Structure 1
């Protein structure tokens, strides 16, 4: 029978897995495969696991239970192995790397910050604050038929949006990075201009949350900050 693998922990982790059922239709109990100083948290599966809501929640529940009691190397959803022996082999082969990563992540949790900006307010501010953009817009509204005007205005506004949002992203990161042991910046998507993951030591979490809350409250320009955490440190497992 194949195995679904949730995470890797060190020997000091209590591995309180009682009552946890895993992914898949059979709801197999979650258990540990031990090799030396490492354990892999697994459950038996007899089917291909797809990202259905129930299985995603089961995966996350295991991660959260493990994170509650100690340091964990969470695996992304969908990682499988053929059997216990293959898992033990991986633990033995890469034990030094796994142990080093566990030490690096010890006592930390991940927080994930996304930020977006109200587009209408941003455009109004640009037209108000940028004389050249305001002049081009006024000429268009007055009926100027120059075909170059809309393109010129669009290019100017796009450049100004990028400049302002880059500055906002840098300012947010600069204010919060002192609380983090490590951080990871990924490309923002949709209306977001910031996608930032932070590895926060547990003894700094309260100060970090206070700083983020104050920052979100004080920042203007229609900016919305969305903070998620504490999370298993997915972004920092290499």
Structure 2
């Protein structure tokens, strides 16, 4: 039997200024296809929300709807985005959430004014092994030893040594990249480490500096080719620069 829907609530997308929030009306809502995105405002702040029955699953349609609402809001001005799945039980809870941290919300929106998040990831380059061998006499010696005395354990040691050398090379390149890009951003945040990743950093970049920032990343990607592969994503809602959920979630 299908799982019955949970108690009705309000799915919360973001907090922003009322004049910006109004542009989200008409966007596709998370959950019920007939739900309408609405704006709950009070004293210069607004929460963008839509009715929802139960907790939505992370389906492609709903993830896309969530991102589309945030993208539309971010085009209008600064926004405090919610993570996917934030639900409040009713309008009173949402409005109370706006009131309880009003000054913090306003300060955060002011800090994000005219800025967007850009995320830069970097991974090591396996094809750089010949360069690593030229630079690392110890690794060359280990490879020769493994060739003379092959075996499972020897191969594992060699593989770990190669992976470590490539990772260290990429991490040094990542440090060089970060040092060059940091002055172009208002703030930076280290992201979660990924397997094989040498860099996962989000930059809060002024809109006026976005062109210079992208050009700098392109130049660094060329300069560091063979040490690290860079992937730039943005502009994004400023998830990494909003410290916590601003509206209480329902049970």
- TM-score for the superposition, normalised by structure 1: 0.90
1:207 to 212, 224, 227: 212
1:46 aligns with 2:53: yes
RMSD (CA atoms): 2.1
Does the aligned pair in 2 maintain the 1:110–1:198 contact within 8 Å? yes
1:29 to 24, 36, 46: 36
Q: What is the Cα deviation at residue 12 of structure 1?
A: 4.9
1:70 match: 77
Secondary structure at the aligned position of 1:13 is classed as helix
The structure-2 alpha-carbon separation of the partners of 1:37 and 1:145, relative to structure 1 and needing over 3 Å to count, comes to closer
Does the aligned pair in 2 maintain the 1:187–1:194 contact within 8 Å? no
1:224 aligns with 2:232: no
1:170 to 175, 200, 207: 175
Distance 1:155 1:222 in 2: 18
Does the aligned pair in 2 maintain the 1:112–1:229 contact within 8 Å? yes
1:123 aligns with 2:119: no
1:103 aligns with 2:110: yes
Secondary structure at the aligned position of 1:184 is classed as strand
The structure-2 alpha-carbon separation of the partners of 1:146 and 1:55, relative to structure 1 and needing over 3 Å to count, comes to closer
The structure-2 alpha-carbon separation of the partners of 1:124 and 1:89, relative to structure 1 and needing over 3 Å to count, comes to same
1:10 match: 17
2:146 match: 140
Q: What is the Cα deviation at residue 49 of structure 1?
A: 0.8
Distance 2:189 2:145 in 1: 44
Q: What is the Cα deviation at residue 150 of structure 1?
A: 5.3
2:4 match: none
Distance 1:154 1:80 in 2: 47
Secondary structure at the aligned position of 1:55 is classed as helix
- CA deviations on 1:183-235 (whole Å, 9 max, x unpaired) are 11123313321101000001111111111112112222153211110010011
Does the aligned pair in 1 maintain the 2:124–2:169 contact within 8 Å? no
Q: What is the Cα deviation at residue 108 of structure 1?
A: 0.4
2:192 to 187, 192, 201: 187
Q: What is the Cα deviation at residue 3 of structure 1?
A: 0.2
1:236 aligns with 2:241: yes
Structure 2 portions without partners, runs of 5+:
1-7, 244-251
1:61 aligns with 2:68: yes
Higher alpha-carbon deviation: 108-117 or 147-156: 147-156
